[in-house]
Amino acid sequence: MENIKFSMIVLFLSFFAFSFDLTQSADFQISQFGGKPNGNIAKALQSAWTKACASTSASKIVIPKGTFQMTHVLLKGPCKAPVELYVDGTIKAPVKPEDMGGDEILRIDYVNGLSITGNGVFDGQGSYAWKQNECSKKANCKLLGMNFAFNFVTNSIVRSITSKDSKHFHVNVLGCKNLTFDGFKVTAPHNSANTDGIHIGRSNGVNVLNTNIATGDDCVSLGDGSRNVLVQNVKCGPGHGIAIGSLGKYKEEEPVDGITIKGCTLKGTDNGVRIKTWPSTPGTITVTNMRFEDITMDNVKNPIIIDQEYCPWNQCTKKYPSKIRISKVIIKNIKGTSATKEGLILACSSGVPCQGVEISNVDLKFNGAPAIAVCSNMKPKISGKVPPCTAPSNKKQ
């Protein structure tokens, strides 16, 4: 009888352990699918994703320490349970854009509950491609390849991953909801053309937190349809600053609402924080509820800008004013040093002047003296220490 009881207990514990194991996350090592150091792991990652995405319990794909090659990979949902992609190694894209096999190293579509974690590096090896970049000469230039694309991803996080030397944008975010970048890092030299750090468009609830971005274009750029975006504790530089826009070039654009840039430090950037819209174009959207707050500038050109005559490389005419209506903009607690005499350039549209602009506590120095503010087509509400608004000169800036 004692032996029967003991056998039943062992059987019960074995069944319990098996049932418990079913509820735990499954780990899929990239090596299980043929992924080897120095080899192309595109097929291995795709196979691991197929297994993980089909799992009814949370799962984890592991890319360990080491150097791996990878051509374009598309990871597509929806998945049956949350998936974590844990990357500790360095993943290198092909040097030549034509060898990538797609527009990105890693593209993720229609996934809910995704985590990308670890201390891994996605290296776009972009220096060869930057020499081919023609975006400063052509309005419709060829995409040379991004490191990441997130399309229609929800309730997800990217943490402690590094994007290095992307050929084009490092990260493109489209149609996402509740997506967070935390402790993310972007690194590329100042002469890497069109390498925006994180570009966000038509997304709601994107957070960029505790992130260091050094690149050759905007550190963070927000396109049309961006809503409820928080950029906080971001270090930017080198680069072109943090930008909302450009906007208004196309008729089908969507409004921008609820953008907060807070607690950020910009160092040696070509611009600080700016809103830019095109003149003489069909776009008529609204840009509202903008907050630029608690920002430190360190030798930054044009620290705060509203530019409603944005027309790079003479791609447009300024004959007609911008139709983009900007309202409810708060500029608060801005300090540091400007590399230009103008610390604030607030050039609103003569057709739809800015409304509800509030400026308080701006302390910017240029060569030891207070930087000036140049304002047009707006009547800001001023409080605290702020340089007085002066009218723009007729001299072309």
Active site amino acids: 217, 240
Return the H-helix or E-strand segment holding 380: none
Element (H, E) at 354: none
Phi, psi dihedral angles at 30 (to 5 degrees): -60, -25
For residue 173, CA distances in Å to 186, 255, 314, 340 come to 15, 16, 28, 32
Please give the distance of CA 270 from its chain centroid, rounded to a whole number. 18
Residues contacting 230, CB < 8 A, separation 6+: 206, 207, 208, 209, 260, 262
Q: Scan for tokens 């504790």, then name that residue.
A: 233
Find the length of the chain: 397
Q: Which residues contact 225 (CB under 8 A, 6 or more apart)?
A: 201, 202, 203, 253, 254, 255, 256
CA distances to 24, 84, 130, 330, 379 from 356, rounded to whole Å, are 53, 43, 41, 8, 8
Report the distance separating Cα 378 and Cα 281, nearest Å. 21
The single-letter DSSP state of residue 78 is: -
CB 318 within 8 A of CB 347: no
Host H or E run for residue 310:
none
CA distance 63 to 374: 52
Name the residue among 309, 313, 334, 335 with its Cα closest to residue 322. Answer: 309
What gap in Å lies between CA 182 and CA 205, rounded to an integer? 14
